[in-house]
């Protein structure tokens, strides 16, 4: 009985420590030192000594701060106290303390350290719709033929889904295609952008999947470059990583911050498109500003949004909402989440 109790305590402590962070446990203590008693003996102690030793071990665990167990220290973590969010198990229902997440999944990460600040079903794999275009933009930038290069819209470029702004025979610059893809989430423009890179659609999608793996996105898969295919899937946690990589590009970030984009075809026809990111109308506000954002929607994916935010001199964060029930809900919950993070964390 004594041996069993000792073994269970040791194994429990080791499992708890490793489960928190396999690479770097969130806490550590000398279990054998705690069990050894004052004489440095582990085996051969009597019941009284063992009881006292077990008590010391338990007290050692109790002294470890909860924050250290849930959010292990990181060399990149800003100095100062950090408050903890409510448990994800308490979110997503009517009893949520601060706000309700109605989306299928959500996540928020600290851009600098990558620490997960908030999560609700962050590893659930789900279609991502036009959030796909963040990866499309990243891969395109690896194959950009030049912003002033001219592309003529072909019949096979046309894609349904959303408003169409470009038509057969119109000639536009690559820069216009890039902005149309990200500002208005134009599917036809995105396909034309892919073909302007001199890669076939199939080759381009392979490059997207290769880049996903290079970014460590093991649950993210692409079947097309625009997001209409519901086999384009990821998780809230991995989309946060993708958004972080995408918004690191000045070209992508600046494109997504346009409330509208106006240009002329080489034939002189004027075009004007409006952003699909309605949060641009809400920021900056109360010291909070948006740094970049992208929407997505299909019937199966629901309403999605990935954004990056900053608050005055505070750390930048990336938020993700996947599978929202309405267009307005994804924006409201993103705004609420960003505000909540800065209210509940200190850097």
Dump pLDDT digits (tens) for 229-278: 999 999 999 999 999 999 999 999 999 999 999 999 999 999 999 999 99
Average pLDDT, the chain: 78
Which is higher by pLDDT, 5 or 338? 338
Structure tokens at 187: 């599917």
Per-residue pLDDT averaged across 307-324, rounded? Answer: 92
**Does residue 94 belong to any structural domain of this protein?**
no
Whichever domain contains 274, its CATH number is: 3.40.710.10
Looking at the predicted structure, is the pLDDT value of residue 20 above 80? no
Which is higher by pLDDT, 20 or 215? 215
Per-residue pLDDT averaged across 34-59, rounded? Answer: 38
Instruction: Determine the structural domain holding residue 37 and report its residue range.
Output: 2-70
**Does residue 83 belong to any structural domain of this protein?**
no
* Total tally of structural domains belonging to the chain: 2
Structure tokens at 217: 């996105």
Same structural domain for residues 294 and 226?
yes
Three-state SS for 296? Answer: strand
Same structural domain for residues 269 and 195?
yes
Looking at the predicted structure, is the pLDDT value of residue 223 above 60? yes
Structure tokens at 194: 């892919």
Summarised one tens digit per residue, pLDDT across range 167-213 is 999 999 999 999 999 999 999 999 999 999 999 999 999 999 999 99
Same structural domain for residues 33 and 144?
no
CA distances from 169 to 161, 200, 219 (A): 20, 20, 39
Query: CA-based angle 25:236:20, to the nearest 5?
Result: 10
Main-chain dihedrals φ then ψ at residue 85, nearest 5 degrees: -75, 165
Same structural domain for residues 61 and 162?
no
Give the integer Cα–Cα distance in Å for 99 and 114.
23
pLDDT at 308: 97
Domain-ending residue, one of 70, 88, 111: 70
Domain-ending residue, one of 53, 70, 87: 70
pLDDT at 86: 41
Cis peptide upstream of residue 99 (ω within 30 degrees of 0): no
**Does residue 168 belong to any structural domain of this protein?**
yes
Looking at the predicted structure, is the pLDDT value of residue 280 above 80? yes
**Does residue 103 belong to any structural domain of this protein?**
no
Same structural domain for residues 188 and 303?
yes
**Does residue 139 belong to any structural domain of this protein?**
yes
Same structural domain for residues 62 and 132?
no
**Does residue 117 belong to any structural domain of this protein?**
no
pLDDT at 98: 59
Q: Band the pLDDT of 127: cuts 50, 70, 90.
A: very high
Which residues lie across from 298 on neighbouring strands? 302
Range with the poorest average pLDDT among 7-11, 41-45, 332-336: 41-45
Give the integer Cα–Cα distance in Å for 248 and 236.
18
Same structural domain for residues 64 and 134?
no
Rg of the chain over all Cα atoms, to the nearest angstrom: 25
Percent of the chain surpassing pLDDT 90: 63
Same structural domain for residues 64 and 137?
no
In the chain, what's the furthest Cα-to-Cα distance? 94
CB 307 within 8 A of CB 292: yes
Structure tokens at 14: 């080791």
Cβ neighbours of 153 (radius 10 Å): 21
Same structural domain for residues 204 and 316?
yes
Looking at the predicted structure, is the pLDDT value of residue 56 above 60? no
Looking at the predicted structure, is the pLDDT value of residue 219 above 60? yes
pLDDT at 40: 31
**Does residue 144 belong to any structural domain of this protein?**
yes
pLDDT at 287: 87
Domain-ending residue, one of 70, 91, 109: 70
Which has the closest alpha carbon to 177: 208, 147, 200? 147
Looking at the predicted structure, is the pLDDT value of residue 142 above 90? yes
Cβ neighbours of 3 (radius 10 Å): 8
Q: Band the pLDDT of 19: cuts 50, 70, 90.
A: very low
Looking at the predicted structure, is the pLDDT value of residue 58 above 80? no
Same structural domain for residues 184 and 40?
no
Which has the closest alpha carbon to 6: 38, 36, 26? 36
201 Cα distance to chain centroid: 26
**Does residue 110 belong to any structural domain of this protein?**
no
Same structural domain for residues 64 and 148?
no
| Residue 158 per-residue DSSP state | -
pLDDT at 162: 73
pLDDT at 43: 35
Give the integer Cα–Cα distance in Å for 331 and 328.
5
Summarised one tens digit per residue, pLDDT across range 60-112 is 433 333 332 232 333 333 333 333 344 333 333 333 355 688 999 999 999 98
Per-residue pLDDT averaged across 145-151, rounded? Answer: 97
Q: Which residues contact 81 (CB under 8 A, 6 or more apart)?
A: 346
Same structural domain for residues 195 and 274?
yes
């Amino acid at each position: 009985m004594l041996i069993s109790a000792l073994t269970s305590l040791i194994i429990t402590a080791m499992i708890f420590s490793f489960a928190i962070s396999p690479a770097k446990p969130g806490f550590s203590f000398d279990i054998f030192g705690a069990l050894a008693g004052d004489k440095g003996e582990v085996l051969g102690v009597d019941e009284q000594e063992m009881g006292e030793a077990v008590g010391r071990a338990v007290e050692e665990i109790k002294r470890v701060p909860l924050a250290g167990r849930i959010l292990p220290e990181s060399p990149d973590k800003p100095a100062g106290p950090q408050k903890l969010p409510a448990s994800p198990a308490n979110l997503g229902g009517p009893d949520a303390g601060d706000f309700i997440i109605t989306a299928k999944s959500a996540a928020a990460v600290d851009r600098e350290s990558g620490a997960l600040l908030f999560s609700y079903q962050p590893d659930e794999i789900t279609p991502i719709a036009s959030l796909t275009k963040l990866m499309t933009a990243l891969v395109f930038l690896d194959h950009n033929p030049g912003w002033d290069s001219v592309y003529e819209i072909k019949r096979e470029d046309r894609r349904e889904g959303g408003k169409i702004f470009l038509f057969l025979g119109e000639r536009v610059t690559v820069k216009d295609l890039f902005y149309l893809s990200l500002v208005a989430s134009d599917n036809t423009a995105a396909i034309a952008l892919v073909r302007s890179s001199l890669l076939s659609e199939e080759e381009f999608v392979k490059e997207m999947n290769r880049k996903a793996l290079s970014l460590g996105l093991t649950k993210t898969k692409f079947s097309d470059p625009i997001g209409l295919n519901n086999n384009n899937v990821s998780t809230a946690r991995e989309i946060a990583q993708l958004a972080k990589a995408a918004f690191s590009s000045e070209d992508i970030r600046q494109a997504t911050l346009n409330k509208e984009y106006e240009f002329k075809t080489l034939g002189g026809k004027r075009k004007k498109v409006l952003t699909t990111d309605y949060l641009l109308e809400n920021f900056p506000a109360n010291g909070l500003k948006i740094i970049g954002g992208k929407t997505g929607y299909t019937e199966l994916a629901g309403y999605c949004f990935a954004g990056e935010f900053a608050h005055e001199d505070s750390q930048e964060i990336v938020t993700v909402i996947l599978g929202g029930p309405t267009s307005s809900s994804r924006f409201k919950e993103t705004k609420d989440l960003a505000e909540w993070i800065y209210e509940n964390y200190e850097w």
